[in-house]
Amino acid sequence: MSHTLLLTILGCGILLALTFRWQRLKGTTLIAPWYWSLIAIWSIIAIEWLPFILTDRLWASGSASLRYFAAITTLCPIVSLLGAKRPQHHAWQWIVLSLWVILAMPAARTLFFSHATLHIGILWSWFLLILVGMTVVNYLPTRYWPVGLLVGTAQCCLLANELPGVRFLSALLTPHRSDEPIRPYFGSTITALALLFAAAILVQWISRERNRPKPDCVEPLDLLWRDFRNSYGFFWGLRVADRFNGLVESQNCTLRLRWNGFVPIAAEPNERSGQTPPKIAASMEQTFVRLLTRFVSTGWINKRKAEHSEKGHC
């Protein structure tokens, strides 16, 4: 009971942090991954309370499958993020749900058609590991890279029995408890929620750090770009930059959009180190803003631009 209470406290802390985060995501297509994150945390909490509702025999036969259902839900936010572009971002959520159903099939087969131990094939295991890796890789080159690492580690804890190469975590975090033969010690789940709680707090802290004035002179439009690529990560950041450069290349433009912002073509090798930030033509700014509106609202863009201008970064 004490472990379930601790797990619930951690889960509620994460839910509270997600609630605060909603205001920053309002007006963006990141709301869909936010909802999937909410569902994932609720699922983990609900599954761990089931032993107090189900009979010992029923829980013992289905605990592994039920925990697996909740664990794979934590993979849905990154999959949802891959389709976070208007106008298909709503329809993409059905693809996310379909993927969850496909991933849940081995556990459903074990739960409803037999009482054998849950076992998924090697291909399924590697596919799950790829999805976990996508979360880490997507945010590795951004300010939120520690958050990505924490979330990826938490997913490894939840899926330790199914992921290749990390099964030792299951034995490490869930030691045998002779006094609890039916309700096993769920150290993996508590560890995962502790990591997710740390990630949720870290997101808030990094967001506050972002709002502090920078010591160097940075254009507000560069800061707007960094806000976008930090929020959406490597996959969409690279795609938007490539799309923008393709559009302005035919206009004989002397600027290109790189990971840190807009740079003159001649300064690409040095990423404009020590140089005055280039002036961005109105037509280029319109093109850039038009690309961003596929992901965020004009209100979100105007709010970020106003914040950066008022803080006097330059």
Residue 53 pairs with which residues in a beta bridge? none
Give pTM, 2 decimals: 0.82
pLDDT value for 190: 86
56 in Cβ contact with 258 (< 8 Å): no
Q: Which of 209, 239, 300, 231 is nearest to 77 (CA)?
A: 231
Mean residue pLDDT of the chain comes to 80
173 in Cβ contact with 187 (< 8 Å): yes
267 in Cβ contact with 277 (< 8 Å): no
Name which residue leads in pLDDT, 114 or 289: 289
pLDDT value for 47: 85
Mean pLDDT of 235-263: 84
Name which residue leads in pLDDT, 207 or 37: 37
Q: 3-class DSSP state for residue 174? A: coil
Mean pLDDT of 211-231: 73
Domains and CATH numbers, the chain: 2-210 (1.20.1070), 220-310 (no CATH)
pLDDT band of residue 209 (cuts 50, 70, 90) is low
pLDDT value for 97: 95
- Give the position of tokens 């560890």: 191
pLDDT value for 179: 43
